[in-house]
Amino acid sequence: MALTAPQIMVRAASAQIATASEVGNPGFCTFKLGDFQVTTILDGGRPSEGPHPTFGEDQEAGAVAELMEANFLPADQFVNGFAPVVIDTGSEKILFDTGLGEGGRANGLGLLRERMQAAGHQPDEIDVVVLTHFHGDHIGGLMEAGAPAFANARYVAGQAEYDFWTAPERAEGQTANAAKAVEANVVPLAENMTFLADGDEVASGINAVAAFGHTPGHLAFSVESGGRRLMLTADTSNHYVASLMRPDWHVRFDMDKEMAVETRKRIFDQIATERIPFIGYHMPFPAVGFVEKIDLGYRYVPATYQFDL
């Protein structure tokens, strides 16, 4: 793995994190998977309070604090990263998710655009943009200054996800803001969009895997090239300790909590059993790792040089 992981530094006093440029590294990581070249790109890191009650919403704060402390993490602050992925298959450049986009820049996020260029992928070279689901941190970068950010791309998204967010009843109540973002960023691209169901192919070797629960149409993707496999788990699990070691714990952003638990166990049981690597959109950057099944859940094992061999 040509690994240039940013040294994310949390300044204790201000709880601000240094950007990659401040610490002199590029915020992307490239490795080979068979004939594919895979690049994870850090759109940014956002420090906030937690993980409780965002993670372990149905647990006592003390139980979450105890697990954090046992894993050398603070109990009252955490950093959430955002990691879109470019897969260059040799014939197409496929981008999975688009970060927070313009709306994140005031807070040091929305860096996908500049960092993908630094990694050798111009926005107008992207052939396909795949959306795992329609939350704002995944669709925020679709538009740039009022125009499509990836000018030559076609789009791929889950049929169930599109149907859910564009239904008239989403425009009111708790889903109103998210539906407004879908209306602004996704709907204008729909005429150039292909809709997937479980198992459908994005490109040869890349297939959708139904991973519903986080959102009603949330998709993971199975990737295979030259006999090597990888799973893009998107938002199936969003904290490498709270949500992998305790997959049963409810997560505030999971729209159907119990279905998200079932999906987490199904997908990560498979990844653990098959011993394949995965990329999780919110895993610690460079967001690539493995899981080992342990007592109540999974131990996250960050990838190191496995892809160099």
- Residues lying near Zn ion in the complex (CB under 5 A): 137, 235
CA gap 178, 57 in Å, rounded: 21
Residue 138 CB, nearest approach to Zn ion (Å): 6
CA gap 174, 185 in Å, rounded: 19
Residue 66 CB, nearest approach to Zn ion (Å): 26
Q: Residue 161, exposed/middle/buried by CB under 10 A (0-12, 13-18, 19+)?
A: buried
Residue 247 CB, nearest approach to Zn ion (Å): 17
- Residue pair 220/51 in contact by the 8 Å Cβ criterion: no
Our CB check for Zn ion shows the closer of 65 and 142 to be 142
Our CB check for Zn ion shows the closer of 59 and 236 to be 236
Residue 236 CB, nearest approach to Zn ion (Å): 10
Residue 241 CB, nearest approach to Zn ion (Å): 17
Our CB check for Zn ion shows the closer of 119 and 139 to be 139
Our CB check for Zn ion shows the closer of 1 and 267 to be 267
Residue 188 CB, nearest approach to Zn ion (Å): 21
The backbone torsions φ and ψ at residue 271, rounded to the nearest 5 degrees and listed phi first, read -65, -40
Our CB check for Zn ion shows the closer of 235 and 254 to be 235
The backbone torsions φ and ψ at residue 61, rounded to the nearest 5 degrees and listed phi first, read -55, -40
Our CB check for Zn ion shows the closer of 88 and 235 to be 235
CA gap 93, 14 in Å, rounded: 39
Residue 82 CB, nearest approach to Zn ion (Å): 7
Task: Say which residues have a Cβ less than 8 Å from residue 295's Cβ, sequence separation at least 6.
Answer: none
Our CB check for Zn ion shows the closer of 178 and 276 to be 178
